[in-house]
Amino acid sequence: DADVTQTPRNRITKTGKRIMLECSQTKGHDRMYWYRQDPGLGLRLIYYSFDVKDINKGEISDGYSVSRQAQAKFSLSLESAIPNQTALYFCATEKTGDADTQYFGPGTRLTVL
C-alpha cells in the first residue's frame, strides 16, 4: 500500500463549487504540505502544517484553506473553485529531523470548468 495517498485522483468541477482534496499518510510523519503544479511553473507551496492544529500559509494560499485534525490527515479545500485553480495538486510529508526528505502522494488532477 502507498504511504501517502490522495483522494480523489481526478476531479472535474464547475466554477463556484466547493471542493475538498484529501491526503492521508501511514508514514507517521509530523509535517505535511500541499503544493500545486502548473505547466512551466514547477511546484508552488499552498499550505503546510508541522503538527496537528498547526497551519501555515505558503506562497499561494489565497482561495484555499486547509485542515489538520489528525496527524495522518491533511485536507485542502477550495471554497469557491475558479478556472485558474485547474492544476495538479500534490500532498507531501516529512519527518522532522529525518534527512529533510519529502515524500509525495500520487497527485490529484483538478479541472475547474
Partner 1 sequence: SQQGEEDPQALSIQEGENATMNCSYKTSINNLQWYRQNSGRGLVHLILIRSNEREKHSGRLRVTLDTSKKSSSLLITASRAADTASYFCAKRSRSNYKLTFGKGTLLTVNP
| Interface map 7-46 toward partner 1 (x if CB under 8 A) | ----------------------------x----xxxxxx-
Per-residue cell: 42: 514547477
Closer residue to partner 1 (CB): 20 or 43: 43
CA–CA separation, 101 and 57 (whole Å): 20
109 binding partner 1? (CB under 8 A): yes
**67 phi, psi to nearest 5 deg:** -140, 135
The minimum distance between CB 22 and partner 1, in angstroms, equals 15
Closest CA to 34 of 20, 24, 19, 44: 44
The Cα 40–Cα 62 span in angstroms is 21
Output the smallest distance, CB 79 to partner 1, in A. 25
Binding site for partner 1 (CB under 8 A): 4, 35, 40-45, 88, 90, 92, 99-107, 109
